[in-house]
Amino acid sequence: MDALPDSRAAGLWPEDSVARVPYWVYQDEANYKRELERLFEGATWNFVCLEAEIPDKGDWRTNHVGALPVIVVRDADGAINCFENRCAHRGALIALDEAGTVESNFKCIYHAWSYDLCGNLRGIAFERGINGVGGMPRDFSREAFAPRKLRTTTLCGLVFATLSPDTPPIEEFIGADVLGRIRRVLDRPIRVMGRFTQALPNNWKLYVENVKDTYHASLLHLFFGTFRITRLTQGGGVLVSPDGGSHSSYTIDKADDARSTAYRDQGIRTEKQDYKLADPRLLDTVDEFKDGIRLQILSVFPAFILQQIHNCLAVRQVVPRGIDAMDLKWTYFGFADDPPEMTARRLRQQNLVGPAGFVSMEDGCVGGFVQRGIAAAGDQVSAIEMGGRTTESQATRATEASVRGFWKAYRRHMGY
Ligand code: FES
Ligand SMILES: [Fe+2]
């Protein structure tokens, strides 16, 4: 592992507080390599796909666990396997596409070595040479060069993988409160509606913090405040897992919120009284989970997000691409038993999110604003004190408790 620079190793965290974060953590190459090893390849569960994306034997998808390319595949017994997408021979990707189906093995395109659905090396082209000449030495160890295998687990149709033997069971890893909020949404078989990848110009942690930062939603996003999708004056709160790493924030609409003048009184730019939707069907919403929660944003450490904004449901995955770049992978879904009018409603509401989404386009640039703002501030710190300095769950969204929770888990995994 690369050593951290001396000046930072001496005072890794300027204050022993999760309410202070030094800006070098978004900029330091050695720190980034340590994150890949200790977070993504360490004792965490990483989202790799939805079960619905690989329903039958031989169905597979490729993905990344941090920087590690992986293949996720359903085998003949119905089990889901995950292994490194790296050929044992010279290291080429074994699977080149995003998804597909194989009969019984994968074949590397470079020299045709083949792998079974568990990631075991099964065949070596011309292993014994031609007419007894050439070929591989008889003592070549297939195991020594094999792609690494990850453990997998499933939860409500989500598939997670880990390289570490020490990662606790997924239920324990997520914690009971946040787990309940996953089960609340993923309560029946799902149907994938579409997917895309958004490239963002910032460190991966700035996006994860943004997701956990429920305070910003109605202040940054004009559409949220103006059309009362979420405002701090509405009911709701934030749940934080005991280890800090996972969270769920939620908004419950209150009928009397429409009369609140709090945003006007504070001069907040995101409430426009005179704006009206040309097509109000966009926000025609059904209370499908029968609890009045119109918006729920949930994360599982380090990089998974489950979203319910009205009837627009999606999972998002954060893939780091260096210290100042990341990919955000979106997968929209509905349920297998959705009637046609619900499918139409979800399709309309999918305009809310994504790179040009009415409520999420600002999130695509604000991480870049921070990355640029802190360019010469590696030794400075941010102030994360809304709602106090601890990480407990709170019955308000005017808090950064879940952002502090991320740093609590981050510091523990990173050894800081
Ligand atoms: S790199 Fe895969 S067979 Fe040679
Ligand atoms: Fe946002």
Tell me the per-residue pLDDT of 101-128, one tens digit each, with 9 for 90 and over. Answer: 999 999 999 999 999 999 999 999 999 9
Indicate which residue's Cα is closest to atom 1 of ligand 1: 90
| pLDDT tier at 3, thresholds 50, 70, 90 | low
143 in helix, strand or coil? helix
Ligand 1 centroid–CA 199 distance in Å is 30
Predicted confidence at residue 68, as pLDDT, reads 98
Ligand 1 centroid–CA 236 distance in Å is 54
Predicted confidence at residue 11, as pLDDT, reads 63
Q: Which residue has the tokens 């787990």?
A: 179
- Say if ligand 1 is within 6 A of residue 87 CB: yes
Ligand 2 centroid–CA 247 distance in Å is 15
- Say if ligand 1 is within 6 A of residue 348 CB: no
- Say if ligand 1 is within 6 A of residue 111 CB: yes
Nearest ligand to the CA of 230 is 2
CA-based nearest residue to 8, from 370, 393, 380: 380
185 in helix, strand or coil? helix
CB atoms within 10 A of CB 347: 15
Ligand 2 centroid–CA 416 distance in Å is 28
Buried b / exposed e along 112-132 (16+ C-beta atoms within 10 A) = ebbbbbebbbeebeeeeeeee
Nearest ligand to the CA of 108 is 1
Q: What does DSSP assign to residue 147?
A: P
Predicted confidence at residue 342, as pLDDT, reads 98
| Segment 15-64, tens digit of pLDDT | 778 999 999 999 999 999 999 999 999 999 999 999 999 999 999 999 99
202 in helix, strand or coil? coil
- Say if ligand 1 is within 6 A of residue 113 CB: yes
Question: Cα–Cα distance between 163 and 257 in angstroms, integer?
Answer: 47
Nearest ligand to the CA of 305 is 2
- Say if ligand 1 is within 6 A of residue 90 CB: yes
- Say if ligand 1 is within 6 A of residue 107 CB: no
| Segment 333-355, tens digit of pLDDT | 999 999 999 999 999 999 999 98
Q: Determine the residue of 96, 105, 110, 145 to mutate for testing ligand 1's pocket, defined as the one with the most ligand atoms within 8 A of the Cβ atom.
A: 110
Model-wide pTM > 0.75? yes
Indicate which residue's Cα is closest to atom 3 of ligand 1: 111
CA-based nearest residue to 247, from 23, 406, 9, 46: 406
For strands 304-309 and 312-320, give the pairing: antiparallel
Question: Cα–Cα distance between 383 and 7 in angstroms, integer?
Answer: 21
Task: Indicate the range of 23-27, 95-99, 238-242, 250-254 predicted with least confidence.
Answer: 250-254
Residue 269 in this model has a pLDDT that exceeds 90: no
- Say if ligand 1 is within 6 A of residue 128 CB: no
Of ligand 1's listed atoms, the one at least distance from the Cα of 108 is 2
| Segment 179-198, tens digit of pLDDT | 999 999 999 999 999 999 99
Ligand 1 centroid–CA 109 distance in Å is 7
State the average pLDDT over residues 148-165.
98
Ligand 1 centroid–CA 196 distance in Å is 29
CA-based nearest residue to 159, from 240, 255, 253, 79: 79
| Segment 309-318, tens digit of pLDDT | 999 999 999 9
Handedness of CA 75, 44, 326, 392 (dihedral sign): positive
Of ligand 1's listed atoms, the one at least distance from the Cα of 111 is 3
Predicted confidence at residue 233, as pLDDT, reads 76
Cα 203–Cα 387–Cα 230 angle in degrees, nearest 5 = 75
Q: Which residue has the tokens 């005017």?
A: 398
Q: What does DSSP assign to residue 37?
A: I
Residue 5 in this model has a pLDDT that exceeds 60: no
Q: What does DSSP assign to residue 304?
A: E
Residue 213 · residue 257 · CB < 8 Å: no
Predicted confidence at residue 15, as pLDDT, reads 74
Measured CA distances, 140 to 4, 122, 134, 143, 146 (Å): 38, 13, 14, 9, 12
Nearest ligand to the CA of 89 is 1
Ligand 2 centroid–CA 193 distance in Å is 22
Q: Quick one: tokens of 242?
A: 């005991």
Predicted confidence at residue 1, as pLDDT, reads 44
- Say if ligand 1 is within 6 A of residue 94 CB: no
Ligand 1 centroid–CA 66 distance in Å is 23
